[in-house]
């Protein structure tokens, strides 16, 4: 029996989005913050749309069964809840500075996940 024979299956984490979702989310949030310029209504709706897609990624990671530790899944659930809070805050806030601060806090919380 040849020990080098292994099944040729693609892993669940084959596409780019699943390889390093934390870095992906951090980059997207940084880009959102940079693009935020003050055209409040248009930008707010765009931010909400982008954050909803990030929420889907975080939710998908929290439900993932790819051998994640319970602590990792809890972190993803916590992140998804925080993204939801940011979306809620943006829908109620007209203050550009406060929205930028919330986006920066979200970016930092993702960065903290890497440290744990």
Domain edges within the chain: 18-115
Q: Would you say 47 and 36 are in contact if contact means Cβ atoms under 8 Å apart? A: yes
User: Backbone phi, then psi, for 4, in 5-degree steps?
Assistant: -90, 0
pLDDT string in tens for the chain (116-residue length): 444 444 444 444 444 445 578 888 888 888 877 776 556 677 788 888 999 999 999 999 888 766 678 888 889 999 999 999 998 888 877 677 788 888 888 888 888 877 76
Cα 62 to Cα 29, 46, 70, 110: the distances in Å are 19, 24, 9, 14
């Amino acid at each position: 029996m040849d020990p080098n024979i292994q099944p040729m299956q693609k892993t669940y984490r084959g596409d780019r989005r699943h390889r390093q979702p934390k870095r992906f989310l951090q980059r997207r949030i940084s880009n959102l913050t940079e693009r935020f310029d003050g055209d409040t209504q248009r930008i707010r709706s765009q931010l909400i749309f982008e954050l909803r897609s990030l929420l889907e990624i975080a939710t998908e990671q929290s439900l993932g069964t790819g051998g994640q530790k319970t602590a990792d899944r809890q972190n993803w659930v916590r992140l998804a809840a925080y993204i939801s809070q940011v979306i809620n805050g943006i829908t109620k806030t007209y203050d550009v500075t406060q929205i930028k601060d919330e986006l920066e806090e979200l970016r930092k919380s993702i960065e903290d996940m890497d440290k744990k």
